[in-house]
A and B are shown apart, each in its own frame.
Chain A
Amino acid sequence: MNDLNISADQQAMLDRFLTQNKLFFAPDPAIMENHRIEARSPLEEQLLSQSVDRHKINEVRGLVVAALDESNTMIEQMGAAPGAKWGDMTTAIFTASGDLSMIAPHGVGGFAAAVFYPIKFILKYWVDEPTVGVKEGDGFIHNDARYGGIHNTDQSMMMPVFWKGKIVCWLSATIHEGENGSCEPGGMPAAAESKFDEGLKMPPFRVVENFELKRDIVTFLQNSVRDPKLQLEDMKVRLHSVLRLRERVLKVLEEHGEEALISTLRLHIEDVVEEVHRRIRELPDGTTRTVSFADSTLRENALLKLNMAITVKGDRMTVDMRGSSPELLNRSINACQASFKTMLFTGFMQNIWPDLPFTMAVFTPFDFIFDEKSLINGSFDTPQAMSLIPLFKTMTIACIPMAKFNYMLPVRYTAMVAPQYDQPATLIYGGLTQHTEYVGNFCADINGMGQGGRSHRDGEHSVSPPFAAHCDLGEIELMEEDLPIVRLGAFTLAKDRVGFGKQRSGLGYEQIHTYRNSGLWGFMTGCSGSLFSSAQPLFGGYASPTYPLCKVKGTNVFEFLKEQPDGLPLDIVEIMNTQPIPGAQYSTHDMGMTFELAAPGELYMMCQGAGGGYGDVLQRDPDLVIEDIENDLISHATARDIYRIVFDSDTLVIDREGTERLRADERKARIARGKPYDAFVAEWQTEEPPAHLPFFGCWDDTSQVYGVMMGQRMKMDGDKLASMFMLNPKDVQIAALQAEVASLRAAAGG
């Protein structure tokens, strides 16, 4: 029975049988683990092996980019999702093989590295599948990140462009749609304990025929989500923006010929690959490393490690993520490796090589190494609805190791920059609106995150989210017309919540939300960073502080404001410290909160964070410290205690000699209190993580990974990770309370 030798004919028959009788078209690892551009097609090879008219290429590129810009603007103007209103979207064009060539100039870069996966799936599986096929006028929809994408809130429309009977390119439009029928409103359920709690999970399938939406399928999708109006509106918006893009591309084909378009799309990405090889070659050979910690699963506190080593050798770069946290089978914060690469790419484009064209071809010279079943290489069965927890950290993590490669270069492509704040700090809402419609989505206000300090100047305040440098903010007044939410405080820069450094970070702004005119309304949040600082510093600066979620409950602020219109300071710290509303309950929490219903007039308050600081605080120009005081960004105490500035409190005039003396004293104090590295490590380093920490990831050896399974610490070989299963936090709480009751009873009985 062990003799399984079969002939070539038998093998061919077996292969044919398996191909024709595929049980389930699951995500294909050959597609999902390949971030590189394809080899040239025979036609591309034929066209590009001849001499190429670069002026023609540039002309066609200009036309295509203009068309992408136009179609992207159409979505921005017409899109119904909050994400579309603030720019969380893009349109894109792909080669016939499905490699992304270009995105709209103002589009979200992350989508440039996400949508090619489902197109390659369609090409591999649906083109020749007799029951599906791909024809002119077809359009495909997709949202499941396991088949490509960032997360399942994003829905794409993908359409092939036929020319003379053959596919010459693909087009797409993607929007962060939000609501998708998940177990919590808004499409990013922190409470999802399995992938079946995630709502719609669309692999790529046809939803458009003859350039029209198929109403039966649209109805199925509308019937699967809380907001059927939104689902229909934005499917139409995506289709029509793609159709407009198609018109423009057909014009290019008519005027310049298919050869020019095909050559342009292909050369655009080949040039990028060549340039990235050149940039890597400029870097020193060697390895730089960093670690990053999320402190929450959004259900409980846990210290989840991302462990990164970047190695440069010649013109290749290897990103080694082994030793990162294992995956969590019943928490929604896992990410698949394609989503991880997508967001790492986004961070490279925002912080390291922002001058390169936005195409995943940037990563073609990169190799990746992951542990199987890690938090950022999550297996198919893990819930991934809040993959943003590791992915937001992924967007900024490379800033530190890449700065250590890049600093020495004679020519810089951008400034060295410390990591931006890296949490999706906004409220997600759900419930019944004043117009009696059920909705669920996110406030789309994550455009207020502070940038990290830069080599030549401070970070910008509230500059953008870390994945899109040029998005907008939905109009608050429009939001308040559609939703019962009222934003009492907004855009206040949060004083002293700064990444201190020679160049300080930018600050993030506060949001104070409440609601009225609804009988059913609630909020959730999905951030970590309430125990462990989120945005890490660079070159000796300090990180961002931690941020809590603050609530004022058991009151109705609108009733209070009727009596005392000026009684509520619109500043979180002041509200929490002075407690101006009598009888209300004031509390602070982690920034990860599963959906909870609120009462009208209760306050939910949070703050978008600061980036990391850059460089030694004692090297900050004293004049800039005083300027920060004048701009109400820092307190006098910070200027004195952190920056060591001597100044007159009333006039803010600096005592320069006194400052020099104070700083010299502090440098001496540092030398006195610091210990030589080897002696320090001998005292500091422990053999394993402290017992009180629910720690996930490697400690001193990247091949040995810790986790917590059903409340018990585990140590595993990195190449044999087990999926962690977490206890229900309510069971943990009940057990603690029962123990307390038992101990009190015993004490009373004794």
Chain B
Amino acid sequence: MKVLVTENLRIDLDRETWECRHCQAELVSARDNYKRGLLVYDRDPREIHKPLLDPAKYARTYSPDPQWCRILEYYCPKCGAMIETEYLPPGHPPVRDIEFDIDALKLQWQDREEVREVPVGEEPPRPRGHSHAGHRH
């Protein structure tokens, strides 16, 4: 049973591992911080949000100030997919953004079918089956 967690991450509940959805690589234990299974790069934000106003003329140019703001890019070590980005001040500790109770997750997914393709979500919610008299359809 695999549980999709983000656009490029999933958890293999049987093996208890984080995996890259882009290349299927196993990253790190599902009980650990998934970021510990990734590569990180400290990006100058001006390389992405390029100055649109002439920096020779103006102090504010539509580019973030690299003294205030950096982009941490997280890559899959096997395929190079960008799994996460974080905008942080220089030196700020990366955020432990996902910390699931893996035992509770296993219990929760015991009765659920594996989701391989994410639902779009544009249709109103409709129950998948129903239950009565102690059993489900």
Give A residues with C-beta under 8 Å from B: 284-291, 293, 295, 303, 355, 400-401, 403-404, 407-416, 455-456, 496-497, 500, 502, 530-533, 536-543, 545-550, 573, 576-577, 586-590, 614-619, 637, 642, 666-671, 673-678, 680-681, 684-686, 689-690, 692-693, 695, 699-700
Q: For the complex formed, measure the closest distance between the CB of A326 and the CB atoms of chain B, giving whole angstroms.
A: 17
Judged by a CB distance under 8 angstroms, whether B134 is at the interface is no
Q: For the complex formed, measure the closest distance between the CB of B84 and the CB atoms of chain A, giving whole angstroms.
A: 5
On chain A, the residues within 8 Å of B124 by CB distance are 355
Contact in complex: B93, A588 (CB < 8 Å): no
A675/B40 contact (C-beta < 8 A), A533-B45, A614-B7 known: yes
Contact in complex: B97, A673 (CB < 8 Å): no
Contact in complex: B58, A588 (CB < 8 Å): yes
A670/B98 contact (C-beta < 8 A), A496-B52, A677-B38, A690-B91 known: no
On chain A, the residues within 8 Å of B101 by CB distance are 284-286
Contact in complex: B75, A289 (CB < 8 Å): no
Rank and list the top 4 A-B pairs by shortest CB-CB distance, nearest first. Answer: A674-B39, A667-B80, A412-B121, A686-B91
A-B contact pairs, 24 of them (CB 8 A): A303-B68, A412-B125, A414-B121, A455-B118, A456-B121, A532-B89, A533-B45, A533-B69, A533-B87, A539-B6, A540-B84, A542-B48, A542-B71, A546-B62, A548-B53, A549-B60, A586-B58, A615-B8, A619-B22, A637-B50, A642-B48, A669-B80, A685-B93, A689-B89
Judged by a CB distance under 8 angstroms, whether B133 is at the interface is no
Q: For the complex formed, measure the closest distance between the CB of A129 and the CB atoms of chain B, giving whole angstroms.
A: 47
On chain B, the residues within 8 Å of A669 by CB distance are 80
Contact in complex: B112, A410 (CB < 8 Å): yes
The CA-CA distance from A671 to B77 in the complex, in Å, is 6
Q: What mask results when residues 9 to 23 of chain B are scored 1 for a CB within 8 Å of chain A, else 0?
A: 000000000000010
Q: A413-B125, A667-B80 are in contact. List 12 more A-B contacts (CB 8 A).
A: A286-B105, A295-B68, A404-B98, A412-B121, A530-B60, A542-B85, A545-B49, A548-B62, A576-B54, A616-B7, A637-B50, A677-B33
Q: For the complex formed, measure the closest distance between the CB of A178 and the CB atoms of chain B, giving whole angstroms.
A: 28
Give B residues with C-beta under 8 Å from A: 3-8, 22, 33, 35-42, 45, 48-50, 52-54, 57-65, 67-69, 71-75, 77-85, 87-101, 104-105, 108, 112-113, 115, 118-122, 124-126, 128
Q: For the complex formed, measure the closest distance between the CB of A702 and the CB atoms of chain B, giving whole angstroms.
A: 11
Contact in complex: A411, B85 (CB < 8 Å): no
The CA-CA distance from A666 to B75 in the complex, in Å, is 11
**Nearest A residue to B34 by beta-carbon distance?**
A677
The CA-CA distance from A415 to B119 in the complex, in Å, is 9
On chain A, the residues within 8 Å of B59 by CB distance are 588
Contact in complex: B88, A576 (CB < 8 Å): no
A668 CB contact (under 8 Å) in B36, B80, B83, B85: B80
On chain A, the residues within 8 Å of B95 by CB distance are 289-291
Contact in complex: B105, A284 (CB < 8 Å): yes
Contact in complex: B36, A531 (CB < 8 Å): no
Q: For the complex formed, measure the closest distance between the CB of B136 and the CB atoms of chain A, giving whole angstroms.
A: 14
**Nearest B residue to A548 by beta-carbon distance?**
B60
The CA-CA distance from A603 to B56 in the complex, in Å, is 21
A576/B58 contact (C-beta < 8 A), A410-B112, A455-B118, A670-B39 known: yes
On chain A, the residues within 8 Å of B8 by CB distance are 539-540, 615-616
A290 CB contact (under 8 Å) in B74, B97, B115, B125: B97
Contact in complex: A407, B5 (CB < 8 Å): yes
Contact in complex: A673, B41 (CB < 8 Å): yes
Contact in complex: A670, B4 (CB < 8 Å): no
The CA-CA distance from A588 to B57 in the complex, in Å, is 9
The CA-CA distance from A577 to B94 in the complex, in Å, is 37
Contact in complex: B7, A684 (CB < 8 Å): no
Q: For the complex formed, measure the closest distance between the CB of B94 and the CB atoms of chain A, giving whole angstroms.
A: 6
On chain A, the residues within 8 Å of B73 by CB distance are 540, 670, 674
The CA-CA distance from A502 to B118 in the complex, in Å, is 16
Contact in complex: B62, A675 (CB < 8 Å): no
On chain B, the residues within 8 Å of A667 by CB distance are 75, 79-81
On chain A, the residues within 8 Å of B58 by CB distance are 548, 576, 586-588
Contact in complex: B60, A546 (CB < 8 Å): yes
Contact in complex: A666, B3 (CB < 8 Å): no
Contact in complex: A671, B49 (CB < 8 Å): no
The CA-CA distance from A199 to B121 in the complex, in Å, is 45
B100 CB contact (under 8 Å) in A286, A617, A689: A286
Contact in complex: A411, B125 (CB < 8 Å): yes
> Which of A408, A415, A547, A684 has the most chain B CB within a 10 Å cutoff?
A408
